[in-house]
Homo-oligomer: A and B are copies of this chain.
Amino acid sequence: MPLAIDQTSPVPIYAQLIEQLRLDIAAGRLAPGEQLPTVRQLAVDLRVNMHTVAHAYAELAREGLIAVRRGVGTIVVGPPAPPQGDERARKLADIIQNALGQAAALGLTPEEFVSELDTYLRRNE
């Protein structure tokens, strides 16, 4: 599942990159030690400017998720420590409410969504 950006989205390109990379790292699709594309290469692949990629990498480096070293490249450090306690509960509720809301836009009740989710997991296990 390669990186993909939507040039028509109102979300800034650098923010789309941050979001996707953060999720890929958190989910383990990008493992610690793994090499990321160079800023120049990724810029060519995504047809965006070098700075836009560098901006995203710099922010993720600031968060400690990746390590950028000039002359060498960029590697994944590791996933962030998952939040605990109240913050975790709040984020979980956000995720659920968001998913249920988007499902409702497809005409699905919460129960139907759970059913679809079960089907999805059975199909992809």
Contact = CB atoms under 8 A, between A and B. Distances in A.
A114 B116 CA distance: 11
Chain A interface secondary structure, helix, strand, loop or mixed? helix
Nearest to A118: B114
Interface stretch (A44-52, A66-74, A86-94): A86-94
Copies in the complex: 2
Contacts of A80: 105
Interface string A81-125: 011000010011101101101111111101100101110110000
A54 interface: no
Interface string A18-53: 000011001110000000000000000000000000
Contact of A11 (B11, B96, B102): B11
Contacts of A96: 99, 116-117, 120
Contact of A107 (B82, B104, B118): B82
A90 to B, nearest CB: 11
